[in-house]
Each structure stands twice: as C-alpha cells, then as structure tokens.
Amino acid sequence: RTQQALNFMWKYTDEMFITDEIEEQLAQQHIAVRGKDLKEEYLNSVTVIIQQATLALPVHASYIYKGGRYGKHTEELGHLLSEMQIVARSHPNIVW
C-alpha cells in the first residue's frame, strides 16, 4: 500500500520545484531560493529514504500535476480546507 501511495503522489512532487517570476525576483535579491535549485538535493535525499524503506522510486508519471502556485487545485483541496477550518468556523470568536 505504501508503494501504491508513493506512486500516486509522485505526480505532485515536481510542482515543489517550479520557479515562477516572483520566486526568481526574490532569488535575485538573495531573499529566497529557487525551487528548481533544490530539486537534485531533494531527489538524492528522498531516493536514499525510499531505498531504506525497501520501496522503489516511482518512474516519471505520465501526468505531472502543475498549477497549484497559480490557483489551480484538485478537488481534494476543498475537502482538506473544510476539515482544517472546522474549528475556526465552530468557534468564530475564539482568540488564537
């Protein structure tokens, strides 16, 4: 089941490394790091962990999800946000 979950979720990992205009400007000002500059180190680290867990690194999925940075989200995000907001909605006057 873990391998199946890893295979399913792998299509979302490339989005972490997309560098948009804002991130590029921040990187040029030495305020942020370009996501694309972290990809190789991430893959090296994750590969070791996946091998230690006796799992296989997924082959590139036929579809790589991209668009979250631009407001394009899957249906699942709505359910997740609803779950995360239940406390605030149940207690609207609470002070955090």
What's the pTM value of the predicted model, to 2 decimals? 0.68
pLDDT values of the chain reduced to their tens digit, one per residue, 96 residues = 999 999 988 888 888 898 889 999 999 999 999 999 999 999 999 999 999 999 999 886 666 777 887 888 888 888 888 888 988 888 888 887
pLDDT of 58-72, one tens digit each?
A: 886 666 777 887 888
DSSP letters, the chain, are: -HHHHHHHHGGGGGGGG---HHHHHHHHTTSS--GGGTHHHHHHHHHHHHHHTT--PPPPPSS----GGGT---HHHHHHHHHHTHHHHHSTT---
